[in-house]
Amino acid sequence: MLQIRVKPGVEDRIRGFFPWIYRPEIASFSRKPKKGELVVVRDFGGRFLGYGYINPEVSIAVRIISFDKERPVNEQLIKDRIKEAYDYRKRLYINSNAFRLVHSEGDLLPGLIVDVYGEYVAVEFTTYGMYRFKDTVVKTLVEVLNPKGIYEKVNQTALKVEGIEASEGTLYGEVPEEILIWEHDLKFLINIPEGQKTGFFLDQRYARKFVRSLVEPEDVCLDVFCHTGGFALNMAKMGAKRVVAVDISEPALKVGERNAQINGLSNIEWVKANAFDFLRELDRKGERFDVVVIDPPSFAKNRHSVPNALRGYKELCVRGLKLTKRGGYMAIFSCSFHITEEHLLNVLREASYDVRRQVRVIAKTYQDKDHPWILQMPNTLYLKGVWVEVM
């Protein structure tokens, strides 16, 4: 097996269970590495640090899967990790038949995402090294879940950056165009092939439940970047008199409308528009809301894009605070690791100053528990939201 040694000083972070090794941190190879092959990681003096896989063509050159010298990376370890992830989800008692089964580094399987939608499964391989275990992953999922179908989603970044040669399609059984899942007392249509991510934003499950505690009967609510209506449906279900749901994607809005119909909810207005422009128009008209939820896509794909992203978040917070009634509630989310919780608090503070509105933080929410984050790896905590009362 290929042996690599890291430069002095890098070993402390690895011994602290940080699983990434960047290309400049590698001191030497025992031979020329091949993309995706397994490696033994050693410190500069030759002492064992872990087992992983390598892609010398990318910035994160090595991802460690095992820090245990007695557990080398092989098919059995991959099987064990998937089964351990499933056992963990069973202990969570998730009130839905849809959940994330494997969350990459959060489940010690870097480069693998597995989402379960009832009797169907969506998988995504984001690294070349994990893609080499594709057959093992599929066989294990069939053994553990006995699904009717498994569908592979292809991450465009993985294709371009990692060099994975793959195309989307069904890997096992059959996967229909639409799947009906349930979450709490609501039903949602899922289209795995056409949907964003693997079909649904499962990571916002807790936040969708939390928003219910803020909505009173006869409230007027706003769901910005609504996608297929996750927040909008929950607010409508709690008796809101009127819910305005806005998104730029017409296909997503059409699914949202159907979701509302399936759940017998007729108090949602679906609006196709650019969110920034629409918020300004609402303010111009003097519209005000009791609950405002702003859940934008990732504005910061890397650290270089953070300054521009923060300007976008600041604009959204300014508009959201203006549109929220005194005594009402607003939430702002970031789904990028590069935008931290402190970033969100700062832009909220600046926005509240600009609009001369005092705000009280009532909650902070994160990705739900089936999207685990590892303390020693801050990168695994990506989704965060701040909820405020506008005073």
Please report which residue ranges of 64-198 form alpha helices under DSSP H: 75-92, 128-131, 134-145, 156-157
Contacts of 166 (CB under 8 A, 6+ apart): 125, 131, 152, 154, 159
Say whether both 372 and 246 belong to one domain: yes
Say whether both 137 and 262 belong to one domain: no
The answer to the question of residue 185 being in a domain is no
Phi, psi of 296 (to 5 degrees): -75, 165
Phi, psi of 366 (to 5 degrees): -135, 180
The answer to the question of residue 196 being in a domain is no
Distance CA 346, CA 354 (A): 12
- Which residues participate in catalysis according to the annotation? 335
Say whether both 375 and 227 belong to one domain: yes
Maximum distance among all alpha carbons in the chain? Answer: 69
Say whether both 166 and 206 belong to one domain: no
Q: For residue 77, count other CB atoms closer than 10 A to its CB.
A: 19
**What does the pLDDT look like over 346-386, one tens digit per residue?**
999 999 999 999 999 999 999 999 999 999 998 899 999 99
Say whether both 242 and 370 belong to one domain: yes
Residue 199 has pLDDT above 80, yes or no: no
**What does the pLDDT look like over 207-257, one tens digit per residue?**
999 999 999 999 999 999 999 999 999 999 999 999 999 999 999 999 999
Domain boundary among 34, 66, 98: 66
CATH number at residue 39: 2.30.130.10
The confidence score (pLDDT) of residue 363 equals: 98
**What does the pLDDT look like over 187-198, one tens digit per residue?**
999 999 887 777
**What does the pLDDT look like over 263-273, one tens digit per residue?**
999 999 999 99
- What are the structure tokens assigned to 199, written together? 């079909």
**Do residues 52 and 60 lie in contact, with contact meaning Cβ atoms separated by under 8 Å?**
no
- What are the structure tokens assigned to 97, written together? 């038949």
The confidence score (pLDDT) of residue 137 equals: 98
Distance CA 113, CA 316 (A): 30
The answer to the question of residue 280 being in a domain is yes
Could you list the residue range(s) of the whole structural domain that residue 128 is in? 75-179
**Do residues 154 and 193 lie in contact, with contact meaning Cβ atoms separated by under 8 Å?**
no
Contacts of 4 (CB under 8 A, 6+ apart): 21, 26, 27, 28, 29, 30, 33, 39, 40, 41, 42, 54, 62
At 305, is the pLDDT very low, low, confident or very high (cuts 50, 70, 90)? confident
Count the residues in the chain.
Answer: 391
CATH number at residue 207: 3.40.50.150
The confidence score (pLDDT) of residue 240 equals: 97
The answer to the question of residue 190 being in a domain is no
Residue 304 has pLDDT above 90, yes or no: no
Say whether both 328 and 386 belong to one domain: yes
Dihedral angle, C-alpha 304, 307, 311, 312, nearest 10 °:
20
**What does the pLDDT look like over 72-131, one tens digit per residue?**
999 999 999 999 999 999 999 999 999 999 999 999 999 999 999 999 999 999 999 999
Domain boundary among 145, 179, 213: 179
The confidence score (pLDDT) of residue 7 equals: 98
Mean pLDDT of 140-163: 92
What is the rounded average pLDDT for all residues in the chain?
A: 95
The answer to the question of residue 188 being in a domain is no
Helices (H) and strands (E) in the chain, counts: 11, 20
The answer to the question of residue 189 being in a domain is no
Say whether both 34 and 174 belong to one domain: no
**Do residues 326 and 291 lie in contact, with contact meaning Cβ atoms separated by under 8 Å?**
no
Question: How many percent of the chain have pLDDT more than 90?
Answer: 90
At 295, is the pLDDT very low, low, confident or very high (cuts 50, 70, 90)? very high
Phi, psi of 31 (to 5 degrees): -165, 175
The confidence score (pLDDT) of residue 227 equals: 95
- What are the structure tokens assigned to 135, written together? 């057959």
The helix (H) or strand (E) run that includes residue 109 is none
Say whether both 382 and 265 belong to one domain: yes
**Do residues 294 and 314 lie in contact, with contact meaning Cβ atoms separated by under 8 Å?**
no
**Do residues 137 and 122 lie in contact, with contact meaning Cβ atoms separated by under 8 Å?**
no
Domain boundary among 179, 213, 245: 179
- What are the structure tokens assigned to 328, written together? 């009402």
Say whether both 333 and 206 belong to one domain: yes
Question: How many percent of the chain have pLDDT more than 70?
Answer: 100
Say whether both 383 and 262 belong to one domain: yes
The confidence score (pLDDT) of residue 157 equals: 78
The residues with which 223 forms a beta bridge, in sequence order, are 245, 293
Say whether both 314 and 371 belong to one domain: yes
**What does the pLDDT look like over 81-92, one tens digit per residue?**
999 999 999 999
At 186, is the pLDDT very low, low, confident or very high (cuts 50, 70, 90)? very high
The answer to the question of residue 186 being in a domain is no
Say whether both 240 and 174 belong to one domain: no
For the chain, what is the domain count?
Answer: 3
The answer to the question of residue 195 being in a domain is no
CATH number at residue 139: 3.30.750.80
Among residues 351, 364, 365, the alpha carbon closest in space to that of 322 is found at 351
